[in-house]
């Protein structure tokens, strides 16, 4: 059966053309799949890199805000008027300030 098929392909130009077309189609399909996977990998890698950069930026921003809050707290400790103003602003009983 297989020998007859091989003899038919050897003797028929049309069968050779069809077989060559199938081989080309297979190679094109494999190339498309490889390109698609490479693109998916690149997108995933870029997304992870972007997340890491965003996380680092967020952490830096939090540190800056904490530093500003500590500076403001220290300024209130040094300035009696600012301490009283903060106490009056947030106290339920401003008379106790």
Rounded to an integer, the average pLDDT of 50-58 is 95
Given a contact cutoff of 8 angstroms between Cβ atoms, the answer to whether 89 and 79 are in contact is: no
More confident residue, 96 or 52: 52
More confident residue, 56 or 12: 56
Structure tokens at 14: 């049309």
Q: Residue 59 pLDDT > 90, yes or no?
A: yes
Domain spans in the chain, listed from the N-terminal domain onward: 2-96
Helix, strand, coil percent values for the chain (each to nearest 5): 95, 0, 5
Given a contact cutoff of 8 angstroms between Cβ atoms, the answer to whether 77 and 69 are in contact is: no
Query: What pTM was estimated for this model as a whole?
Result: 0.52
Tell me the per-residue pLDDT of 70-94, one tens digit each, with 9 for 90 and over: 988 888 777 777 777 778 777 777 6
């Amino acid at each position: 059966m297989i020998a007859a098929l091989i003899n038919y392909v050897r003797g028929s130009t049309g069968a050779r053309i069809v077989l060559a077309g199938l081989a080309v189609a297979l190679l094109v399909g494999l190339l498309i799949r490889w390109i698609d996977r490479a693109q998916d990998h690149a997108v995933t890698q870029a997304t992870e890199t972007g997340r890491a950069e965003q996380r680092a930026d967020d952490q830096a921003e939090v540190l800056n805000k904490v530093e500003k809050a500590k500076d403001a707290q220290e300024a209130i400790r040094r300035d009696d008027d600012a301490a009283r103003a903060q106490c009056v602003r947030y106290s339920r009983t401003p008379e106790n300030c």
